[in-house]
Structure 1
Amino acid sequence: MTVLGAALRPLFEVAPTDLPPGATGGGPTAERLSRVVFTVTECCERTLLTRRETALVKALDAYPEELRGFAYEGAGVGLAALDHLLPWQRRTRRFVDGPAGPYVFAVYLGAGMGLARLRRDPEPFRRRLKDDVFGWVVLDGYGFHEGFFAHRRHVQERAVPRHLSGYGLSAFDHGLGRSIWFATGADVKRVVATIEAFPESRRGDLWAGVGLACGYTGGVDEPTVEAVRDRAEGYRDRLAEGVVVAARARHQVGNAAAYDEIACRVVCGTGSREAAEIAAAALVDLPTDDVEPAYQIWRRRIRRQFT
């Protein structure tokens, strides 16, 4: 156990009363989404209290395969918090350069959540990672936290963080879209009504976030996914973009899930393995000239397959 981790732990505890009202209903969908939230929370706390990286990896890998990505996401929350207070240690980047390499997407999502919980600007942390492609995922995690735990301000009132600009705002809205999936209990009518209340310029990124949540987290049956697809008219390429990113994240670590397979078949018209291959092909020869974020180019290449 680390003294710093023990001191930080209370800041990251999540009680049922901390969740948006729509996320706490009954039924299998709410149960699934709540289990994901508390898996992330549990693994954040474990990370804060575990001194040795090998012991942490062993604990994370003990989770059921289908939930393991969320376990690594929780680790990202705790590591980013420690890195913020002890920046010279760079634990997050060391973790993804080592045993968590296949889970880089999940770890960075968690890192953004950790920074949001500490009320810190995620941009300096993103730049310190020196990951020109997936470093932007930190902003996605940041957006999820703000949409879920500060739901009134960022979803109902649609406030935009003043310290974010440029593509950072798009990545933030990816996370905000994911939070809408969770906060509404994946209720299609509520998802659509929530997104339609936003300015049109933000809706595409929100739908991309819904696609990622639908494909990776799931929690709903095939008819519900069909309803999501049908109601996303005008943004189906963005919905498909998110589903494909989810497929890559799952297949990269070899833990494909039924939710992902359904989402890929219904939204993308292909199997999840083929969707993951689309994402992998889109990563080839990404420009690194800093004119445009490589992550933005990658995601645009993906959605062009469905335009």
Structure 2
Amino acid sequence: MVSWTGHIRRIGLTPSANQALLRKRGFPERDPHAKACLEMAGGSFIEGFGVAAQSSTAVEATGTLARIDGVRRGFAVEGAAMAMAIRDALPLGHRHHVADLLEAADEHIYMIHVGVGWSFARLPRPLRRAAARGLTDPTLTWLALDGYGFHQAFFHTDKYVKRQYIDPDPPLPTHHHPGYAPHAIDQGIGRALWFVAGADPHRALRLIEAFAPQRHEDLFAGIGLAATYAGGASADELEELAERAGRHRPALAQGSVFAAEARTRAHIAQPHTEAAVRAITGLGVTEAAAIATRSRPSGHTVDGQVSFEVWRRRIMLRWATDSKSPLPGTDRVKEGS
């Protein structure tokens, strides 16, 4: 039974469901399938947020989230992580909701980190450190900034997408290598571009082309992740997207590999996951996920470089090797560079 305080938290904290509608955001509704995929993602996020807002404990929330069907569950956990992070930041109750959620739902570790990043956009700067307190993995912590970037591009599209705004003082869940923050944020903006484009690869490519060239690689990685995890496009369309990515195909593939690993680890891979991974990377979901797990470093840095970026570079290199990709740009991907 939900307590009265849980009811109050859910009512007071949970965003309105219409915030996830493409029409509300001004994003194109290119066809019923794409619309359903993208709005399902947003609606599931809000559902998960509400579950975590009203639950007494992370274990209770995890039990409820586990009953959500697999195609929606990852997004729901992401929303739950945002709610738990906000609860950690507020001066009420204990401050280990995120840590408890990570322990109870470890298979969703990636989505939890991304969800915490959403809270940064909704909390005053002095409270963000408390929201991020539960994130202790030095490599995955950067995913919180990915989540922040997605939020900003999704809700402030004119500023972050049309005007390509760059945060001069971005929120940091870690003090290590603050110069990497814009790259992590751009990966989240890239994910949001998939939604802004209505899951239309041609529109997504045009959106990326409007950004400065030095931002394209991170944006393509985000597109690859969202196109694989959320879906909305056909295999033929994704194959064309991969071809048109040109020298940034390794980054597109890296994003797809991340999505494959996130869904595989959580045991929620879907038929569209397999189709998207194969279209973008030429590999199966299991093969792609294995690249991610074998490549992941530990620690904040590797030879002075941000471990998260080293991870991405290793994935690009190993994908190029495993897929025998002859595409331009793969010869410039150096492990650990």
| TM-score, normalised relative to structure 1 | 0.91
Matches for 1:196-207 after TM superposition, within 5 Å:
196-207=209-220
Contact 1:215 1:264 in 2 (8 A): yes
Supply the RMSD in Å over aligned alpha carbons. Answer: 2.2
Counterpart amino acid of 1:66?
A: V
Aligned to 1:286: 298
Distance in 1, Cα, partners of 2:124 & 2:240:
36
Which piece of structure 1 moves more, 205-214 or 18-27?
A: 18-27
**Unpaired runs of at least 5, structure 1:** none
Aligned to 2:88: 83
CA offsets, 1:27-79, max 9 Å, x none?
A: 11111100110110111022111113332112101111222111111111111
Distance in 1, Cα, partners of 2:203 & 2:124:
28
**1:22 is aligned to 2:16:** no
Query: SS of the residue aligned with 2:247?
Result: coil
Aligned to 2:16: 13
Match of 1:162 among 141, 161, 168: 168
Matches for 1:77-226 after TM superposition, within 5 Å:
77-86=82-91, 89-96=95-102, 98-118=103-123, 120=125, 124=129, 125-126=131-132, 129-164=135-170, 165-226=178-239
| TM-score, normalised relative to structure 2 | 0.84
The alpha carbon displacement at 1:115 in A equals 2.2
Aligned to 1:48: 53
Aligned to 2:73: 68
Contact 2:47 2:79 in 1 (8 A): yes
Distance 1:121 1:302, change over 3 A: farther
CA offsets, 1:119-171, max 9 Å, x none?
A: 54897354762220111110011000001011110000111112125111111
Aligned to 2:335: none
Distance 1:300 1:62, change over 3 A: same
Distance in 2, Cα, partners of 1:23 & 1:92:
34
Counterpart amino acid of 1:247?
A: A
Distance 1:100 1:18, change over 3 A: farther
**Unpaired runs of at least 5, structure 2:** 171-177, 321-329, 331-337
Aligned to 2:247: 234
Query: SS of the residue aligned with 2:104?
Result: coil
Query: SS of the residue aligned with 1:129?
Result: coil
Distance in 2, Cα, partners of 1:122 & 1:296:
27
Distance in 1, Cα, partners of 2:41 & 2:134:
28
Contact 1:286 1:297 in 2 (8 A): no
Query: SS of the residue aligned with 1:62?
Result: coil
Contact 2:74 2:108 in 1 (8 A): yes
Match of 1:35 among 11, 36, 40: 40
Distance 1:261 1:33, change over 3 A: same
**1:262 is aligned to 2:271:** no
Contact 1:286 1:298 in 2 (8 A): no
Counterpart amino acid of 2:215?
A: R
Which piece of structure 1 moves more, 70-79 or 81-90?
A: 81-90
Counterpart amino acid of 1:9?
A: L
Percent identity (aligned): 30
Distance in 2, Cα, partners of 1:195 & 1:63:
34
Query: SS of the residue aligned with 2:40?
Result: helix
